A and B are shown apart, each in its own frame.
Chain A
Amino acid sequence: METKEANAMSAPTLLQGVKVLTLEQVHALPWGTAFLADMGAQVIRIESVAHMQDRKAGPFPNGKPGVEWWNEGGNLAYFGTRNKQSLCLDVTHPAGKEIFLKLVKRCDIVTDNFRPGTMRRFGFDHESLAQVNPHIITLSSTAFGHSGAWSKAGSRARTVDAVCGMSALTGYEGGPSLRASNNYMDHSTGNNVAYALLLALYRRNKIGKGVRIDLSMQETGVSCIAPAILEAQRGITRPRLGCGHLWKSPHNVYSCAGSDRWIAIAVSSDAEWTALKQVMGDPSWAQDTRFDAARSRWQHRHELDKHLATWTATQDDKRLMALLQGRGICAGAVLTATDLVNDPHLKQRGFLQEYNRAGSPSVGPRTYAGRPFRVPGVPMAIRHAAGMGEHNNVVLQEVAGLSPVEIGELAEQSVIFSRPRAEEKAP
């Protein structure tokens, strides 16, 4: 029985009837398939009792895993099993493999993010699946793709930042290169996964054909730095500028009152600069004619930044943002997670979502980022986070067509699971 959520809502019907089987771990692919789940596709996440890392990843309430820790991590609700179904099935067991292929027959999409070769070893490569279901769409999301010299190499999101060229472009002005992000590339790749799958469905509606999609994290990353790729072909080297800009000045972060509080200011016209001077009360340093024209401001930006920072240093970052924006000057406080959760703008827009998983009373309501777009009539909210093996019965009966007796046998033979093994340690 599926428990009803406190804030249960009906799924959008955009992808009603579309079934996705996904063998996914970690971040990029689960982030991508979550979009389809949001849109009402039946996304069945096949999980393995032998690989529990995503269910151990948290975050947990106050950092402490609870009694039923495997269903309580926040990443599950944010993307891992968000609006998906969980079928905990050992596909390496012959009976498990047979069930997987039965499901493939009734599904539209199969996705995986194993290293290239793994799906073939299971007998689940595109060609094998297309024999079972000729219209199948498969997508394999890997670090470097299925062909080429590096196809066997693994990655983490931050190593993708490096290898795609983005980290080399990132750093404080005049300083060394720095890691660009923690998991920006997981998200860019996941967004690309969603786009590629929606394209494939669109194409199948049009021409009636399935497709094999080979999606690479590295290449998604390179597509994020396209201008630098063009520049490299003509010997142009893009400098690292921190929060600086190639021609705008002032364009940086400036310290504000309080500990580790900052405001970003981005002046892109002389009119904005004049307005900023006025807001500052036309201090004598700002009358320096070297700051009059954009190019000259930029050339003397370090000096300008120092002066400006003395002015911002005593001010409240959020009030200063409102003051500057009120005068038409582009500025934004450097907000923390605390700020964002309490932000009046986001509150009024209903961007953040509170979600309380019914099966996890010890977790209680928690706040999540919403989707950044609103399509009227198509709510993309978290409706449910699937617990481990929560949908074994419903998927095996309704999609694979098994009887309750057969399902009982699978549980006895340790082919399906609905909780971790006894020896599994809490994270």
Chain B
Amino acid sequence: MDGILSELKVLELAHAPSGAFCAKLLADQGADTVKVEAPGCGDPARQEPPFIGGEPHPDRSTTFLALNTNKRGVTLDMEQAAGRDLFLQLASAADVIIESYPPGHLARLGLGYEALKAKNLGAILLSISYFGQHGPYANYKGDDLIAQATGGYLYAVTGSADRPPMGTALQQMEQTAGRNGVIAIMAALLHRDQTGEGSHIDLSVMEAAISTPSGLIHPYSFTGRNPRRGSGDRNVMDGMHLPTFDGEVTLTTAGTGGRPMEVWSEFLGEPRLLDPKFATRLSRQENWEELRDLVAPKLAQWNNLDLMRETMARGLVIGLVQSPRQVLDSPHLAERGFFVELEHPETGALKYPGPGFFFDGVNPMQSTRGAPRLGEHNAEIYCGRLGLSNEELGRLRAAHVV
């Protein structure tokens, strides 16, 4: 299947995972996406462990590989006038430019939205930063943890009530910002179709974090209570992780027709679950250790895949707490054709997650290329697209512009 966005040209100058992920979502749908990196070290994600093969290598960071599929890569020193000139040439032909410099940095280089607009009226510039382009915190530094903290996620969502705040793994706030970013870009493209005008979009990772759990701002506004972490604690039937024979599982009371203990007692073959002290959600929490000690040994007899099959047959809802390895080996996902294999000279072929949706039964993720090596497409882009001669490119190389 041809890439849906194959007519879209995207330029990415993202030094943070949010922008890189956002551009990846477009690139995976076929957008012609060029990643611009500083010569020498490139995107900081290249240094992020772990690395395929174990040893640090700028082309083998799993984070970098995952965030940059289907992009081409060039290097460009934006601190040099010649570099800025090349950037403007690239930007003049781009539909979408994604950047994650500190707010105002691009403008200080003379490459702010107004400068881009002068060259390219329809340019859509998406600026992603941790706290947004303006406001008292605009110049604050951030990372995923800081976004989880200031976004209310850390206090309210993940950890245990009697322990310090604790967040989710693998930079989820960066990703949720990136997912909002593609929605904003699609909106800006529609806006451009209707008005002929581009846009400068201001996207804040902190705000993406706040808007993500529904249980935060308006529940507080309605009830005056601060949502606080720990709702999974002591919750044997609806939150805790319990061991199975070859993994872990979290149960739910869903699909039990309002008779959770009757249904689970029968399923697990444990009549003691019918004891009135486990009858309500509250009483189950009060007697959670006793309940766990009845449920856990029964679950421990089950293999994950058998447990899934049998609960599914009865309409019960469980969550196998799968390890990444178990996810990778999932027969279900294999049957669906979810993973997409991408070749890469430094890592060999690896399976990457698809976008999570199929169009007419086809996984629409492009498998054009794995993440670019640093400056891999300099000649292709600078000579092929901008029409530079080999000699000119050589001079730029010698001057460390590329």
Q: Residues of A at under 8 Å CB distance from B?
A: 13-15, 27, 31, 35, 39, 58-63, 74-75, 77-79, 139, 144-145, 147-156, 158-172, 176-184, 186-189, 191-192, 194-196, 198-200, 202-203, 206, 211-234, 236, 238, 240-243, 245-248, 251, 253, 255, 260, 262-264, 266, 268, 321, 325, 328-341, 344-346, 348-349, 351-352, 366-378, 380
Complex formed: what's the CA distance from A334 to B209 in Å?
12
* Residue of B160, B183, B201, B255 with most partner-chain A CB within 10 A: B183
- Beyond A183-B215, A262-B165, 7 additional contacts (C-beta under 8 Å) are A153-B317, A162-B249, A202-B189, A337-B156, A337-B227, A340-B152, A375-B188
Closest approach, in angstroms, between the C-beta of A141 and any C-beta of chain B?
Answer: 9
Asked if B324 and A188 sit within 8 Å, CB to CB, the answer is no
Q: Which of A153, A236, A370, A375 contacts B199 (CB 8 A)?
A: A375
- Given the interface contacts A178-B160, A334-B154, does A186 sit within 8 Å of B214 by beta carbon? yes
Asked if B5 and A191 sit within 8 Å, CB to CB, the answer is no
Report chain B residues within 8 Å CB of A171. 166
The yes or no answer to B135 lying at the interface (CB within 8 A) is: yes
The yes or no answer to B184 lying at the interface (CB within 8 A) is: yes
Asked if A246 and B48 sit within 8 Å, CB to CB, the answer is yes
Asked if A75 and B214 sit within 8 Å, CB to CB, the answer is yes
* 17 A–B contacts, CB within 8 A, in A order: A39-B190, A74-B222, A170-B166, A176-B241, A177-B241, A182-B231, A187-B214, A192-B179, A194-B183, A196-B355, A213-B358, A218-B333, A225-B327, A245-B145, A246-B50, A351-B207, A372-B203
Asked if A147 and B336 sit within 8 Å, CB to CB, the answer is yes
Q: Residues of B at under 8 Å CB distance from A?
A: 4-5, 7, 25, 29, 48-50, 52-54, 62-63, 65-67, 131-132, 134-137, 139-143, 145-152, 154-160, 163-170, 172, 175-177, 179-184, 186-191, 194-195, 197, 199-205, 207-208, 210-224, 226-228, 231-232, 239-241, 248-250, 252, 254-255, 308-309, 311-312, 315, 317-328, 331-333, 335-336, 338-339, 350-361, 364
Report chain B residues within 8 Å CB of A368. 217-218, 221
Report chain B residues within 8 Å CB of A222. 327, 333, 338, 353, 356
Complex formed: what's the CA distance from A372 to B176 in Å?
10
Q: Which of B7, B50, B224, B351 contacts A233 (CB 8 A)?
A: B351
Asked if B4 and A337 sit within 8 Å, CB to CB, the answer is no
The 7 A-B pairs with the shortest beta carbon distances in the complex, nearest first, are A159-B319, A162-B319, A337-B220, A372-B207, A226-B66, A220-B356, A264-B149
Report chain B residues within 8 Å CB of A196. 355, 357
Report chain A residues within 8 Å CB of B154. 243, 253, 262, 264, 334
Report chain A residues within 8 Å CB of B166. 170-172, 178, 242-243, 253
Complex formed: what's the CA distance from A257 to B154 in Å?
18
Closest B residue to A32 by CB, please name it: B183
Q: Which of B187, B312, B359 contacts A153 (CB 8 A)?
A: B312
Asked if B357 and A213 sit within 8 Å, CB to CB, the answer is yes
Report chain B residues within 8 Å CB of A377. 191, 195, 197, 199
Asked if B220 and A338 sit within 8 Å, CB to CB, the answer is yes
Complex formed: what's the CA distance from A334 to B135 in Å?
19
Complex formed: what's the CA distance from A262 to B158 in Å?
15
Asked if B187 and A187 sit within 8 Å, CB to CB, the answer is no
Complex formed: what's the CA distance from A27 to B214 in Å?
9
Asked if A337 and B226 sit within 8 Å, CB to CB, the answer is yes
Closest A residue to B227 by CB, please name it: A337
Report chain A residues within 8 Å CB of B158. 170, 178-181
Closest approach, in angstroms, between the C-beta of A186 and any C-beta of chain B?
Answer: 7
Asked if B360 and A219 sit within 8 Å, CB to CB, the answer is no
Complex formed: what's the CA distance from A79 to B25 in Å?
24
Closest A residue to B331 by CB, please name it: A149
Closest approach, in angstroms, between the C-beta of A33 and any C-beta of chain B?
Answer: 12
* Residue of B189, B252, B320, B361 with most partner-chain A CB within 10 A: B320
Asked if B223 and A231 sit within 8 Å, CB to CB, the answer is no
Q: Which of B309, B324, B356 contacts A231 (CB 8 A)?
A: B324
Report chain A residues within 8 Å CB of B205. 372
Closest approach, in angstroms, between the C-beta of B134 and any C-beta of chain A?
Answer: 7
Closest approach, in angstroms, between the C-beta of B239 and any C-beta of chain A?
Answer: 6
Asked if B137 and A156 sit within 8 Å, CB to CB, the answer is no
Q: Which of B67, B201, B250, B309 contacts A167 (CB 8 A)?
A: B250
Asked if B152 and A336 sit within 8 Å, CB to CB, the answer is yes
Complex formed: what's the CA distance from A263 to B159 in Å?
15
Complex formed: what's the CA distance from A217 to B319 in Å?
12
Asked if B5 and A202 sit within 8 Å, CB to CB, the answer is yes
